[in-house]
A and B are shown apart, each in its own frame.
Chain A
Amino acid sequence: MRYLPLTDEDRRAMLATIGVGRIEELYRGVPKAALLDKPVDLPNHAGEIEVERRIGTYARRNLGASSAPFFLGAGNYFHHVPASVDHLIQRSEYLTSYTPYQPEISQGTLQALFEFQTQVALITGMEIANASMYDGATACAEAALMACRVTRRDRVALSGGLHPHYRDVTATGARFMNLDIVALPADARGTEDARVAIDDDTACVIVQNPDVFGRVRDYSSLAAACHAKGALLVIVVNEIVSLGAVMSPGDMGADIVAAEGQSLGNPMSFGGPHVGLFAVREKFLRQMPGRLCGETVDADGKRGWVLTLSTREQHIRREKATSNICTNSGLCALAFTIHLTLLGEAGFTRLAEVNHAKASNLAKTLAGLKGVELLNDTFFNEFALRLPKNATDAVEELAARGILAGVPGARLFPKERDLENLLLVTATEMTTDEDMERLAKGLAEVLK
């Protein structure tokens, strides 16, 4: 077994040093009835050739984005990751290092986290960002809990434009903390005015921009309405590339931003692992969950970085911690920060422009198809179409033709009959003209 360095001779000698005859004697404390006397009923060890073959069998049964015209979004996006990113994150010192609890030998990780926190604060227009959470949905749930702590209120209003997974994860977390959730109805038409949901018990209103239907809005007036009632505004961002072209949540007056960073640096990977971004106004710093990296100096006066404000966290505060979170999404955050560093201001804004251009042209083409209605007045790279038939059926038929056409409304909103004909379509810099033609042609065919 290639991962086990001990030889039988080593084992014999070490057992002799310890003074026992067999390894099994070291398991004396285990109740006899619970000790297995032979390996469990699973295959024995295998070499790389065999493992690659078996995993490859699973892979070959799937149709991936790199093999088909691809138009899905809804919180997970198909973007190009520059070759340098994957190369750099696989350097041993990044891939196989631990949480930077010994800062003197972790300055690589810590400096990268400091840069990551700064980049997240810059793109979201907020003052402080943490070193990442598991994903956007759990970040959203943590934002709700934090808003309740900060305002000392227990009601959370969720926009009908919020991704249903985010809504459900937030509602689950809130219910177990005896908080009250007010969920506004699905806002496919973009007519929601979330101000009606604010009352004196509201801790926060949570909206998404662009929303799950792709709509881009300025939430400044909602922010003002929240603040007038002593509530916070939480803005969720699913498609982080949108911040290259859309007004930042901070500029709209957001108090907390909970976002998904997967679009930069990280493959879709069937939904995980991803990277949650979390940014707040400085005055709320001590109520923020998650790891934080801070700047300081060493004994020689040289600049360096450490994890800081740890007294918010579980390993010190235990049940009084701001959260139970123990990991961040380290390597995914690193991939994010490397990608964004490669892009820079010019690249990030250009990337956003290209995404929008593709989506704009695609939307125009598809809206021209018979019976197809574009629901959005505004969008970034994702928009909602109303088809003249069931969208789930249309998507299945297109998949059979080798086209991954988008996310049908019923997949996200299974109980909303009137969203059955809704199709969410996304275009990114990966979408080619041929892809778009094939979709238009295919869609026209299945809608006949």
Chain B
Amino acid sequence: MAALKYTDQHEWVAVEGDVATVGITDYAQGQLGDVVFVELPEEGKAFAIGDQAAVVESVKAAAEVYAPISGEIVEVNEALNDKPELVNEDATGDGWFFKIQIDDESELDSLMDAKEYKEFVKGLE
């Protein structure tokens, strides 16, 4: 699997063929605190790049999760409905949010790579 790419809204993207898996980064889950609820998009719904696709709630905060690229949702992580803590425990693995069909591969070029994201986060702190 190719390396993860990142957005400046702290989403990660893992590309496999023409489908991208999306979640929030470990940094983001740490900032949020204990995740208590995730509002996932409906399968089949189409989003443009930057549209709000999901919401992740902790006890004291709620954050929008945006579609990092345009496409249609092909699968959502139902496990998060019963175990939202997966986002805290394994943000880049079992805590994934949704899988989206890639409409336009060139949109991936605008995402950050791991090194760029790390620099970006450092700049925030």
Contact = CB atoms under 8 A, between A and B. Distances in A.
A and B touch in the complex (CB under 8 A): yes
Interface of A: 286, 310-311, 316-317, 320
Contacts of A311: 36-37, 57-62
Given A286-B39, A310-B60, A311-B60, 7 more contacts: A310-B59, A311-B37, A311-B59, A311-B62, A316-B60, A316-B61, A317-B62
A301 to B, nearest CB: 18
Nearest to B63: A311
A310 B61 CA distance: 9
B60 to A, nearest CB: 7
A286 B36 CA distance: 12
B102 to A, nearest CB: 28
Contacts of B39: 286
Interface in B50-66: 57-62
Contacts of A317: 62
B104 to A, nearest CB: 28
A48 to B, nearest CB: 44
A311 B58 CA distance: 8
Interface string B59-80: 1111000000000000000000
Contacts of B61: 311, 316
A320 B64 CA distance: 11
B62 A286 contact: no
Interface of B: 36-37, 39, 57-62
Nearest to A320: B62
A311 B34 CA distance: 13
A317 B36 CA distance: 15
Which of A310, A311, A317, A320 has the most chain B CB within a 10 Å cutoff? A311
17 contacts: A286-B37, A286-B39, A310-B59, A310-B60, A311-B36, A311-B37, A311-B57, A311-B58, A311-B59, A311-B60, A311-B61, A311-B62, A316-B60, A316-B61, A316-B62, A317-B62, A320-B62
B39 to A, nearest CB: 8
Which of B58, B59, B62 has the most chain A CB within a 10 Å cutoff? B62
Nearest to B61: A316
A316 B58 CA distance: 10
Contacts of B62: 311, 316-317, 320
A320 B59 CA distance: 16
A310 B60 CA distance: 7
A311 B57 CA distance: 7
A102 to B, nearest CB: 14
A316 B33 CA distance: 14
B109 to A, nearest CB: 31
Contacts of A310: 59-60
Nearest to B58: A311
B51 to A, nearest CB: 15
A119 B59 CA distance: 26
A406 B59 CA distance: 49
Contacts of A320: 62
Contacts of A286: 37, 39
A281 B39 CA distance: 19
A316 B37 CA distance: 14
B14 to A, nearest CB: 27
A338 B36 CA distance: 33
Contacts of A316: 60-62
- Can you list the 6 inter-chain pairs with the closest CB atoms, starting with the nearest? A311-B62, A311-B57, A317-B62, A316-B62, A316-B61, A316-B60
A316 B56 CA distance: 13
A316 B39 CA distance: 16
Contacts of B37: 286, 311
B18 to A, nearest CB: 30
A143 B67 CA distance: 31
A309 to B, nearest CB: 8
Contacts of B36: 311
B125 to A, nearest CB: 23
B59 to A, nearest CB: 7
A447 B61 CA distance: 64
A400 B50 CA distance: 69
Contacts of B59: 310-311
A320 B62 CA distance: 10
B116 to A, nearest CB: 30
A316 B55 CA distance: 13
